[in-house]
Amino acid sequence: MQYLVQLLISGLAIGAIYGLIAMGFAVIYKSTGLVNFAQGEMTMITAYIAWTISTTVSGNVFVVAVGAILAAIVLGLIIERLVMRPMLGEPVFATVMVTIGLAVILRSAINFIWDAYPHGLELGMGRGIVHLGSIGVRTGQLAVIATLLLLLAAIWAFFRYSKVGVAMRAVAADDRTALLMGISATKVHALAWAASSVIAGIGGVFFALSYDLSPAMFQLGLKAFPATILGGLDAVLGSGLGGLLIGITENLAGGYLGSGMKEVAGFAMIIVVLMVRPFGIFGERDIERV
Amino acid sequence: MRTGDYKQSYGELVALIDSPPVWLWSAVLLLALIAAPYLLNSYALSFLMIILITVTGALGLNILTGYTGLISLGHVGFLVTGAYAYAVLVSKYHMPPLVGFLGAGVVPALASLIVGAPSLRLKGLYLAITTLAFSFIINTVILEMRWLTNGARGIQVQRPEIFGVSFDSDAAFTYLCLAIAVLTLLATLNIRRSRIGRAFVAIRDNDTAARVMGINLHAYKLFAFVTSAFITGIAGALYGIYLSFVSVEGFPFLLSIEALAILIVGGLGSALGAVLGTILIVLLPEATRIVFSLFSAQMDATFTTGAQELKSMLYGLVIILFLRFQPRGLVGAWHDIRRAWVHWPLRY
């Protein structure tokens, strides 16, 4: 029983990280209509920048947090301006392939800029252990779950009530009509990329706090795919919850079936889910016209 | 002056080769390729082998992604399945290599039915991600089935001997790759100009409209998956033989990206494009290395230490630049040049 609870909690913690990255996917999909295959790499860059700040400038939590968030915003804006904006109006296939190309470039750039050894992000916190009854939980794990829930609520409210959020949904639904209505699609896209980069970056920094930075970290992006798909690409809330679900499934499969199963549990799960609901659990079905 | 291509009968429209000069140049190219193993040194020959093997694989993906418009991010899954099928049949159970090649086609084809089945309900990006999931699952399956695949240790593969002819030398193996690549090219071109090929293209352009016109979506999508996986599997077997060692690490996820890059660079949905794209993508890292070494020895050193990173960076850059500036790929560029050549000094 205790083993099960332990697995569930660590599943929730890693799931919250997947959830944050999956929300990054969903924010971009919801406002630009494309899947950003470079999300994992962007997450990784933000985490590495946070690590660089903590080792060179200051190990203070607030300095690192603010620096990482600013870096993530700049990264998102640069990518949007240099790579994605010229592709505005091109077919979705072409644009998505551009993000794949971008992912490959960013991944090798990281290996060039930083070395290939694992690093721990030491901020003097996050690795302490809190006891809930008889079960020990890391503070970093609790913090990431709380952050995910907070961001979920904030983003839900943003897309539901704020004018900008509605504009973003309008651009995703039909960018031409949105332009005619006086919405600046470029501004919306820039905002979406910055926001997505920050949300996913937070996930990356939490990952670095609880585990380690390594060149294999881009796989977080691949792990977060199932979460986004599970929730539905256009459902930001669903993606966050999908992340938790994938995290738990993965950990249970790893704990009871073996480590090989842990790697693929999420992927196996989405294949099954997509067979039943091709648009994800919370996704909306598109209506098609010839 | 030649003013245009006038097609007067249906047969002319679907002809494999529509003008005598193209026959001539194709024959010249084939002769050059046959002579190549005797003229090239072993370093250049290894590139020729890689190009021929990659062409086979790219043509396989072209049927699925280029013709039918189903994006696959997991084609390396079929490649690795084919390689393992060959390795297990030939190295482990000592079957004749021809049976091995048949298995290398059939096993991925069967696997593709499993991936293809959900694809009947999925579209676009959701399908791309399902295929991605497949390629990760297949790797784990291979690693877990130790009794059959030796797990992470991999399987040693010898160069084959078919009907008493040994393909042990590089030249002979190049001929084997050449034969398979040419056969695949002919097969793809023939599929494209048949009823099946037209159905594929109709599905790509608009699946709802294709369905209304009486095309059985399920049958044709599955057929595209099976054909594509069959061809890719055989390319995988060839690649395994080329590496002389089959392991999961030998088939990294980057190969899926590389295959898509080839199609984009060459021009989606064109067999010629797949060939041109392969040549460019395979030779690109080498060409860059030569350019780098011209500048300075230090840059050459950077290239050798970070070869893998630079290589993948180049793929990414090439994908982005082509999509941005020449979305129709090398084939599109070739068509433009040809038209300008024929019609000069008129625009059209």
Please list, in sequence order, all residues whose beta carbon lies within 8 angstroms of the beta carbon of residue B207, skipping any fewer than 6 positions away. Answer: B123, B217
pLDDT of residue B150: 78
Query: Could you give the CA distance from residue A220 to residue A246 in angstroms, rounded to a whole number?
Result: 12
Nearest CB neighbour to B125, from listed A35, A101, A260: A35
Please list, in sequence order, all residues whose beta carbon lies within 8 angstroms of the beta carbon of residue B183, skipping any fewer than 6 positions away. Answer: none
pLDDT of residue A210: 78
The residue assigned the tokens 């990414």 is B316
A112-140 exposure pattern, b = at least 16 Cβ within 10 A, e = fewer = eebeeeebebebeebeeeeeeeeeebbeb
Neighbours of B112 (CB within 10 A): 28
Secondary structure class of B214 (helix, strand, coil): coil
pLDDT of residue B74: 85
**Distance (Å) of CA A65 to CA A56, A62, A212, A221:** 14, 5, 17, 21
Residue at B165: amino acid letter: V
Dig out the tokens for B71 from the structure.
């994006």
Query: Could you give the CA distance from residue B24 to residue A188 in angstroms, rounded to a whole number?
Result: 55
The residue assigned the tokens 């252990």 is A129
Mutation target to probe the A interface, by most A beta carbons within 10 A, among B70, B131, B140 is: B140
The count of C-alpha atoms lying within 13 angstroms of the C-alpha of B239, restricted to the half-sphere facing its C-beta, is 32
Secondary structure class of A213 (helix, strand, coil): strand
Secondary structure class of A136 (helix, strand, coil): strand
Secondary structure class of B69 (helix, strand, coil): coil
- Residue A138's beta-bridge partner residues? A129
- B153-176 pLDDT, tens digit each: 888 887 777 777 777 778 888 888
**Quick check: A105 and B317 CB within 8 A?**
yes
Pick the more confident residue, B291 or A81: A81
Task: For residues B305-329, give the mean pLDDT.
Answer: 81
Dig out the tokens for B58 from the structure.
């790219």
Is the pLDDT score of B2 beyond 60? no
Q: B82 in a domain, yes or no?
A: yes
Q: Are A149 and A19 in contact (CB under 8 A)?
A: no
pLDDT band at B284 (very low <50, low <70, confident <90, very high): confident
All residues of chain A having their beta carbon less than 8 Å from the beta carbon of residue B124 are 92-93
Neighbours of B193 (CB within 10 A): 14
pLDDT band at B62 (very low <50, low <70, confident <90, very high): very high
**Quick check: B125 and A90 CB within 8 A?**
no
pLDDT of residue A61: 78
- The closest alpha carbon to B200, from B69, B75, B13, B16, belongs to B69
pLDDT of residue A93: 77
Q: Chain A: which residues have CB within 8 Å of chain B?
A: 34-35, 83, 86-87, 90, 92-94, 96-98, 100-105, 107-109, 111-112, 222, 225-226, 229, 233, 260-261, 263-264, 267-268, 270-271, 274-275, 278-279, 288, 290
pLDDT of residue B185: 92
**pTM (two decimals):** 0.85
Cα angle: A152, vertex A40, A100; to 5 degrees: 120
Secondary structure class of A5 (helix, strand, coil): helix
Mutation target to probe the A interface, by most A beta carbons within 10 A, among B136, B146, B215, B249 is: B136
Counted residue by residue, chain A has a size of 290
pLDDT of residue A285: 66
Distance (Å) from the alpha carbon of B137 to chain A's nearest alpha carbon: 6
**Quick check: A94 and B323 CB within 8 A?**
yes
Please return the burial class of B169, using the count of CB atoms within 10 Å of its CB with bins 0-12, 13-18 and 19+.
exposed
Q: B239 in a domain, yes or no?
A: yes
Q: B15 in a domain, yes or no?
A: no
**Distance (Å) of CA B222 to CA B64, B120, B129, B137, B217:** 10, 8, 17, 20, 8
pLDDT of residue B235: 93
Distance (Å) from the alpha carbon of A214 to chain B's nearest alpha carbon: 15
- B91-136 pLDDT, tens digit each: 888 888 888 889 999 999 999 888 887 777 777 777 888 888 888 8
Task: For residues B53-67, give the mean pLDDT.
Answer: 92
pLDDT of residue B55: 93
Distance (Å) from the alpha carbon of A267 to chain B's nearest alpha carbon: 5
Give Rg (Cα) of chain A.
19
pLDDT band at B248 (very low <50, low <70, confident <90, very high): confident
Q: Are A129 and A13 in contact (CB under 8 A)?
A: no
Q: B342 in a domain, yes or no?
A: no
Q: B324 in a domain, yes or no?
A: no
All residues of chain B having their beta carbon less than 8 Å from the beta carbon of residue A225 are 129, 132-133
**Quick check: B118 and A271 CB within 8 A?**
yes
Q: Are B49 and B242 in contact (CB under 8 A)?
A: yes
The count of C-alpha atoms lying within 13 angstroms of the C-alpha of A207, restricted to the half-sphere facing its C-beta, is 32
Query: Could you give the CA distance from residue B127 to residue B148 in angstroms, rounded to a whole number?
Result: 30
The count of C-alpha atoms lying within 13 angstroms of the C-alpha of B94, restricted to the half-sphere facing its C-beta, is 0
Residue at B329: amino acid letter: G
**Quick check: A267 and B137 CB within 8 A?**
yes
- Could you list the pLDDT tens digit for every one of the 290 residues in chain A? 778 888 888 888 888 888 888 888 888 888 777 888 888 889 989 988 888 888 887 777 788 888 889 999 999 999 988 888 888 777 777 888 888 888 888 888 888 887 777 777 776 665 677 777 677 777 777 888 888 889 888 888 888 888 888 888 888 777 788 888 888 888 888 888 999 999 888 888 888 887 778 777 777 888 888 888 887 777 778 888 888 888 888 888 887 877 777 778 888 888 788 777 777 777 666 655 54
Question: Mean of the per-residue pLDDT values for chain B?
Answer: 84
The count of C-alpha atoms lying within 13 angstroms of the C-alpha of B18, restricted to the half-sphere facing its C-beta, is 14
Domain that holds residue B126: 34-272
Q: Are A267 and B138 in contact (CB under 8 A)?
A: no
Query: Could you give the CA distance from residue B40 to residue B47 in angstroms, rounded to a whole number?
Result: 10
The residue assigned the tokens 């800029």 is A113
All residues of chain B having their beta carbon less than 8 Å from the beta carbon of residue A100 are 73, 257, 260, 316, 319
Q: Are B129 and B73 in contact (CB under 8 A)?
A: yes
Q: Are A42 and A106 in contact (CB under 8 A)?
A: yes
**Quick check: B121 and A90 CB within 8 A?**
no
Nearest CB neighbour to A97, from listed B123, B124, B264: B264
- B186-226 pLDDT, tens digit each: 999 999 888 999 999 998 888 888 889 888 888 898 999 99
Query: Could you give the CA distance from residue A282 to residue A275 in angstroms, rounded to a whole number?
Result: 15
Q: B286 in a domain, yes or no?
A: no
**Distance (Å) of CA B231 to CA B106, B168, B188, B243:** 9, 23, 10, 18
**Quick check: B133 and A290 CB within 8 A?**
no
Query: Could you give the CA distance from residue B36 to residue B164 in angstroms, rounded to a whole number?
Result: 23
Query: Could you give the CA distance from residue A55 to residue A210 in angstroms, rounded to a whole number?
Result: 17
All residues of chain B having their beta carbon less than 8 Å from the beta carbon of residue A271 are 118, 130, 133-134, 137
**Quick check: B208 and A290 CB within 8 A?**
yes
Distance (Å) from the alpha carbon of B314 to chain A's nearest alpha carbon: 8
pLDDT of residue B317: 87
B128 touches chain A (CB under 8 A): yes
Nearest CB neighbour to A104, from listed B117, B313, B323: B313
pLDDT of residue A77: 92
Q: Are B215 and B198 in contact (CB under 8 A)?
A: no
Neighbours of A237 (CB within 10 A): 19
Query: Could you give the CA distance from residue A271 to residue A211 in angstroms, rounded to a whole number?
Result: 28
**Distance (Å) of CA A63 to CA A51, A55, A56, A69, A142:** 11, 12, 11, 10, 21
All residues of chain A having their beta carbon less than 8 Å from the beta carbon of residue B129 are 35, 225, 229, 270
**Quick check: A103 and B312 CB within 8 A?**
no
- A24-55 pLDDT, tens digit each: 888 888 877 788 888 888 998 998 888 888 88
Is the pLDDT score of B4 beyond 70? no
Number of domains present in the structure of chain B: 1
ipTM entry: 0.78
Q: Which of A52-66, B36-50, B270-284 has the lowest mean pLDDT?
A: A52-66
For B156, list phi and psi in degrees, rounded to 5: -80, 140
- B124-139 pLDDT, tens digit each: 777 888 888 888 888 8
Nearest CB neighbour to B125, from listed A96, A102, A109: A96
Is the pLDDT score of B348 beyond 70? no
pLDDT of residue B148: 79
pLDDT of residue A289: 54
**Distance (Å) of CA A284 to CA A150, A180, A277, A279:** 24, 25, 10, 6
Helix segments in chain A, DSSP class H: 2-32, 39-56, 61-79, 92-113, 139-161, 163-173, 175-180, 185-210, 219-231, 236-257, 259-276
Residue at B112: amino acid letter: S
